[in-house]
Amino acid sequence: MSNGSAIVLAAAILGLSVLGGSYLMVQSLDAASVQLAQLGKAVAGLEVAAAPAKREAPRRRGIDPNKVHKVNTAGSPSIGPEDAAVTLIEFSDFQCPFCARVTPTLEQVQETYGDDVRIVFKHLPLRIHPQAPLAHAASEAAKEQGKFWEMHDLIFANPRQLTEEKFVEYAGQIDLDVEQFKVDMVSPDIKKRVDADMAEASQLGVTGTPGFFINGKFVSGAKPFADFKQRIDAELDAQG
């Protein structure tokens, strides 16, 4: 075989190899494309199947602000006559900065409306506030000696000092029997009172603090005085 023939033969063999490889590559790509298409259809099918479940999932509804809710106030600390024209109930947390912020506003409400408004305190120490439960127990222990609001004011005035030592110090400042206060602060009965308020808040749908009920109508958050005034005036006007 001449050199020229050999070269031609080699070129032909090389060409066939390239064509064969290209054919196999195309076949592989086609197969991969089919698999990807099938996978895409499968994913789309899963999304379609999941869509009804998403639509059917129940949504958590907020508290209806127009509905009059019944809230138990028996035994709860309060300021103002029980037969006041307007009852303002607060679910509060002693470690909540928004509750501390609204405290002066509630004092302004009390000063403005006097005996027309009764303010009631309900316990709702949130799980995100680990120091709150002891603070609420301390306030109830002070209530046992008729000094709930004095302890309430001291705790909110010092929100970064929610310790047993501080609560005992406050007890001395407001002339409590300190030893009895310490016993009451860890009393199972006082824990039951706090737990009962928390359970009621959950039943009502109150999940954050502060949460208010003004003559049974829910108001969320640390509103300014003007907001409370508008709502209280509306309740007073409705009663003539």
Q: Which residues contact 116 (CB under 8 A, 6 or more apart)?
A: 84, 85, 86, 232, 236
- The residue extents of the domains of the chain are 1-57, 78-238
pLDDT of amino acid 206: 98
CA 91, 163, 189 angle in degrees (round to 5)?
Answer: 55
User: Which of 60-74, 155-169, 183-197 shows the lowest mean pLDDT across its residues?
Assistant: 60-74
Which of 229 and 13 is assigned the larger pLDDT? 229
Give me the mean pLDDT over the 91-105 stretch. 98
Q: How far apart are CA 211 and CA 75, in angstroms?
A: 19
Give me the mean pLDDT over the 168-187 stretch. 98
The region that residue 227 occupies, defined by phi over 0 for left and psi between -120 and 50 for alpha, beta otherwise, is: alpha
Give me the mean pLDDT over the 124-150 stretch. 98
pLDDT of amino acid 240: 78
- Architecture of the CATH domain 78-238: 3-Layer(aba) Sandwich (3.40)
Q: What is the pLDDT of residues 196-232, one digit of tens each?
A: 999 999 999 999 999 999 999 999 999 999 999 999 9
DSSP character for 116? Answer: G
On the question of pLDDT at 43 being above 60, the answer is: no
**Pairing state between β 217-220 and 117-123:** unpaired
Torsion sign over Cα 80, 86, 91, 95: negative
